[in-house]
Each structure stands twice: as C-alpha cells, then as structure tokens.
C-alpha cells in the first residue's frame, strides 16, 4: 500500500466515531479520505450508497470476499462489514490520508496486514451515556440496541489489551474530543502536520528550495526570509537525524523539533510564532 499512513478509528457503536470523522473530513477536505466500507445492513435514513457505505447483499459481499477483494471483514450485530482493497486504494491514489471506521475485530485483522495504520480508540465516558446516545440517535430497534451494548462491553474490555491501540480518546465533550483527535494526529501523522502548514509557508518553502540546492546541509546563504532556518536533515543512509543545534533558536517549541519522515525541516517565524515547513 502506498501514500500517507492511514488512520483507524475504532470503538463501540455510538461512541462518536462518525461524528468526529465528519468534523475532520469537513475541516480538512482534501487531506483525509474516508474508506467506504461494505455492509449488509440496511441503509439508515440519510445514508448514501457509495458515500457512507456500499450497501450490498450477503451473497454479493461473500462473493467478493471469496475473490480476495477485501483487506478485512467481520460480523457485527447480525450484519457483515468489510474494507475492500479498492476502498483504501481509491483514497491512497489521491495521496490523501485514508481513515477507516472499523470495529475491534477489524482492528485485529488489519494488524495482520501490511497497512500499518495509526490505531485510535474512541470510547464513551460510560455505558449509560453510550446507551442514552444510541437511544437519542433513533437508529436502532430495541434488539439491535441490546446487541450493540453487549458488543460495546466486549469492545471496551478487549481494547485494554496493551499495544492494541496507539491512543484512546474519551468522547465526553465533543469539542474537547475533536481537539484531542487533531492534536493526536498532528503528533503522529507527518502527512497531517505537513498539510497544516499554511499555503503561504509552502510557497515560501518552494521558492526557498529552488534557491537552495537540496544536497547542501548547511544553512543557505540567501534564505527567503531572515527568520527561515534549516532545522535538520534526515540521513537516509544511517536512518538518523542531524540537527545542528546552533540553528535552533531557544524559543522554538519542542513540538517543532525534527520528525524522521522528512529529509529537511525548515522553520519560519511569522508574527512571533514559529511554524515548521517540511520539505522532502
């Protein structure tokens, strides 16, 4: 699989995955792409075939699974769900960060593949709150609500397995949970961090790059801005960073210190604030 590292959001039904994802996809339209799963469950009012899910029959889905077209699939609450290879490839072909919303069985199955995503668990503050949210959502029958609550208890127990998730978000206050999600992604996804730089910074960087040959590891003679500094260089041969410390002014926040996915890191100071500009 190519492209930026995908992101998996998992957690009990009703925990708030779709709500958080919608906000993320809305705020960062061309940065993230949603992996549209297949399911045999019936569409809910407002759900669009091909956008929310590919709604298919059990026979159709089984046929495609047998043909090896799925990365993973699972049975949840009496229906089949699965991620097709095509769903992920469609996002990666656009160089977007692919986001998957899958259950805990899917997480375990994806771990056996080479997809290598970042695993985030979204959890409710309590089972009682989860039940209330699911009831208020008005999408479930009493029977499917019961099944989801039972599955939620299993999910919350299994998700305690050390190392299964990279991070857990407790979705109590929505805005707080969303901020946490963005912070986590900024921390762990170089592709997201790169996309958060303002276009003006990127343009400055491009001009800067053209006037400064990529092979040179010293500070360029004529930087586009006197406040633009080369922070570090990744040595692909030794897989190590060289960050000449004397280039780093004291007021740079530690969150801007080099990350191993870039060959060069520049910093730009604008309005007294440091921004990182990453160039490969």
Give me the residues that bind ligand GDP (CB under 6 A), please: 13-14, 18, 37, 41, 72, 74, 76, 81-83, 101-103, 105-106
The Cα 232–Cα 266 span in angstroms is 7
Residue 79: half-sphere exposure toward Cβ, Cα within 13 Å: 17
Is residue 229 a contact partner of residue 187, using CB atoms and an 8 Å limit?
Answer: no
CB of 182 to ligand ADP, least distance (A): 15
Q: Which candidate, 259, 196, 252, places its Cα nearest to that of 228? A: 252
Told to judge if 44 belongs to the known catalytic residues of this protein, a careful annotator would answer yes
Q: Which is nearer to ligand GDP, 124 or 205 (CB)?
A: 124
Q: Which is nearer to ligand ADP, 136 or 142 (CB)?
A: 136
Site for ligand ADP in 139-178 (CB under 6 A): 171, 173-174, 177
Site for ligand ADP in 19-48 (CB under 6 A): 19
Dihedral sign of CA atoms 63, 65, 68, 70 in order = positive
Is residue 87 a contact partner of residue 35, using CB atoms and an 8 Å limit?
Answer: yes
* Residue 40 touches which of ligand ADP, ligand GDP, none (Cβ within 5-8 Å per kind): none
Q: Which is nearer to ligand GDP, 131 or 187 (CB)?
A: 131
CA 22 to chain centre: 12
CB of 83 to ligand ADP, least distance (A): 16
Which of 5, 133, 137, 202 is the catalytic position?
137
The Cα 96–Cα 33 span in angstroms is 6
Is residue 70 a contact partner of residue 83, using CB atoms and an 8 Å limit?
Answer: yes
Which of 148, 193, 264, 276 is the catalytic position?
148
Site for ligand ADP in 106-135 (CB under 6 A): 133
Told to judge if 5 belongs to the known catalytic residues of this protein, a careful annotator would answer no
CB of 5 to ligand GDP, least distance (A): 18
Which residue's Cβ lies closest to ligand GDP?
106
Place of tokens 């990127």: 202
Partners of residue 80 on adjacent β-strands: 75
Letters for 44-73 (x = contact with ligand ADP by CB under 6 A, - = none) are ------------------------------
Told to judge if 264 belongs to the known catalytic residues of this protein, a careful annotator would answer no
Dihedral sign of CA atoms 139, 171, 73, 184 in order = positive
The Cα 184–Cα 198 span in angstroms is 19
Give the catalytic positions in this structure: 44, 137, 148
The residues of the shown chain that bind ligand ADP, judged by CB under 6 A, are 13-19, 133, 136-137, 171, 173-174, 177
């Amino acid at each position: 699989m190519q492209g930026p590292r995908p992101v998996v959001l998992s957690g009990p039904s009703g925990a708030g995955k779709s709500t958080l994802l919608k906000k993320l996809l809305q705020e960062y339209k061309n940065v993230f792409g949603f992996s549209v799963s297949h399911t045999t469950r019936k569409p809910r009012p407002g759900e669009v075939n091909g956008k929310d899910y590919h709604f298919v029959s059990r026979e159709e889905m089984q046929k495609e699974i047998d043909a090896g077209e799925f990365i993973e699939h699972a049975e949840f609450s009496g229906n089949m769900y699965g991620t097709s290879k095509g769903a992920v490839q469609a996002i990666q072909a656009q160089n977007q960060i692919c986001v998957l919303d899958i259950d805990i069985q899917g997480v375990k199955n994806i771990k056996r593949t080479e997809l290598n995503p970042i695993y985030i668990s979204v959890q409710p503050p309590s089972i009682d709150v989860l039940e209330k949210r699911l009831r208020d959502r008005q999408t479930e029958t009493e029977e499917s609500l019961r099944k989801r609550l039972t599955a939620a208890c299993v999910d919350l127990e299994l998700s305690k397995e050390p190392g299964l998730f990279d991070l857990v978000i407790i979705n109590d206050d929505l805005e707080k949970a969303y901020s946490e999600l963005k912070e986590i992604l900024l921390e762990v996804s170089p592709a997201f961090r790169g996309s958060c730089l303002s276009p003006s910074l990127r343009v400055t960087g491009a001009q800067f790059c053209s006037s400064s040959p990529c092979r040179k590891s010293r500070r360029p003679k004529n930087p586009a801005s006197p406040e633009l500094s080369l922070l570090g260089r990744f040595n692909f041969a030794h897989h190590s960073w060289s960050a000449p410390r004397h280039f780093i002014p004291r007021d740079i926040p530690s969150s801007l210190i080099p990350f191993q996915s870039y060959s060069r890191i520049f910093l730009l100071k604008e309005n007294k604030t440091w921004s990182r500009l990453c160039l490969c």
